[in-house]
Structure 1
Amino acid sequence: MSYPPPPAGDPNNPYSQQPPQQPQGQPGYGYPQQAPQGVPPQQGYGYPQQAPGAPQQPYGQQAAYGQQQPAGSSVQANNGYINLVSGPVLLATMGQRFLARLLDGVIVGVIMTIAMVAGLGSVVGIAGNAAEDCGSYMDPGYDACMNEAAAQASSGVAVMFGILGIFALFMLLYEWLMIGIKGATFGKMALGLRVVKESTGGVPGVGAGFIRYIIPMVGAFICYIGMLLTYLSPFFDNSGKLQGWHDRAAGTVVIKK
């Protein structure tokens, strides 16, 4: 059994009503708006606009709305710079640090050689003079002369060890105070390197300089293996700051001025 179709235009019949027409020129709901001809399209609501020609950031790496990207991290990738309180500085390379320590070793070695030669020279001179002055062992005063020469030689040996003690004190004060007060030894100065406090960008200070010096020295007691590992430890630093164990303990970094 079929029914006749309802009359068109019946206001009480919902099937006879036509959907409202969208005004001409306006997009429908849920569709992007079309800009008039000749006007550049605008970005959607809620997204920051970018200047024409600006590089587009990959999806997922854009900053949150209303936030700005930080000016720089503590270590800039693959360029050797680090941002301190005083500004960006260039880290010293391991090659530069090795050459600086080599120069310091030459300076210390020359001073040590002078001290050893002076001490041994005095002992050898005393022994040679005794051999000439005391004469033959058959002479009556030979024993007394040799005893006196032996006493002089002993005093010469004591002087030599005293010089070595002064040299050891010089080594302590050289590395410790030069780093703590000046931020660089003569070897580092020659290569334009400087040790600075990471938190301030200034000289480390006497306390940090002593910590930085004493850690390799303690390692030297184990056949110098600990000292060697300490100086090689910047290779194992995964922070990108090339900090050795002594640098981390003292809170310092080595930079190129």
Structure 2
Amino acid sequence: MTHPAPAPMGRRLLAYLVDQVAVVACGGGLLLGAVLPVVRATAAGTPTGTADPVADPTTLLLGWGMLGALAIFQWWAQGSRGWTVGKYLLNLRIVDVRSGRPVGMRRIFVRGLVVAAGTLVLGVGQLVVLASPLWDRSGRNRGWHDRSAGDEVVDLRTGTLPSPRPQARRATGSASQRRAVVAGPAATTVTVVPTGAVPRGAAARGTDEQRRDEPLRREVLRRDARADTAAATEAARGAAARRLDALLSDRRTGGPALVMPPFAEPGVAPDVDTRALAVVQPATFGLDPELEQTRYAPLRPDERAAPGVDPTTADVELSDGQVVTVKRSLLVGRNPGDDDDSQVVRVDDPGRSVSKTHLQIGLDAAGVWVADRGSTNGTIVTLADGAQIVCGPGQRVRLPAGSTVSFGDCGLRVVRAPQVGARP
């Protein structure tokens, strides 16, 4: 499923104009027709002895009633369906920025209050609020009213939205039958034998046997707990291995060389503050203390650098198939700047999920590292053992050979790392 891209400002403006036409058609025209003659007569001056012109009360009441009905309908449609009349006709939807579903009537009310508050500023502030998506630096075309309600306007021509949440089905049958289902099966009848019916010697022997068997029972419980923990750990490792195989699979169908499945069910490219995210699974690169004195074995022939390959550089493969040799600092993004004499790699991202300068890859004596440059959608590193690390802004994360980096809808993989200590 491809999530819709942000709605362009031209279509949003056209949808707004269609909504204003609907306002004029549903009551606004009646109000204008009743008030304009009075305004004109007042401006021309009332002849002496003639009563002041008054608008027809019935026309005013009918006009205001139709406008109120339209406002309530638009409120309900935006909160529960994500559209107004204009947005419905132009295939636009107002959805939650994270889940992609309608935001509800309460948040739509907050959104409308921000737009209405703009009219208090010289009468034209509402237009400034409606034009505020033009100044959104994230590329999602979210205005001040969108941010206040946590929503965004998307274009259904570019993708599909998630299906609505399934509603719970009401249980059929009578009330007594539903209570029986909730309560579960009837309790088993237990016959209690009086204490006096059991010989004292038998009761004492039973107590002694239970006391002797208590350590054995506890040991069995601890062994079962350790077995359950080991099974859960093995299942997690198997899932990580399967996911790593998918990430590092070879190209077989002519598609991209690197397949980057989502780490979770995607929304509609929300704004993520990576500083508030914790490390999913910490990764360490140090050796066990018992192995610190182990001598390094010489490199095998297949591990030695190929002739003509600079051991101080690294190779990374992007999700579109191109391989880039990292010789110095490398900036990756939709349109990164090159003002600091760094290598520049521009990625093709129609959905604008990648920031202009999203991440930086560098080399030092310890190998390759990656750092997020304060991007909107964040950067996640997946190591060869399946561990995942969320890169904070400006935080350097080591990239051993075989590591993958996911940023927005794109990704890259470290194909070859420099020899440790080769760089000065």
Q: Normalization by structure 2: what TM-score?
A: 0.31
Question: Which structure dedicates a bigger proportion of its chain to strand?
Answer: 2
The structure whose Rg is larger is 1
Question: Which structure dedicates a bigger proportion of its chain to helix?
Answer: 1
Q: Which has the higher contact order (CA 8 A, sep 6+)?
A: 1
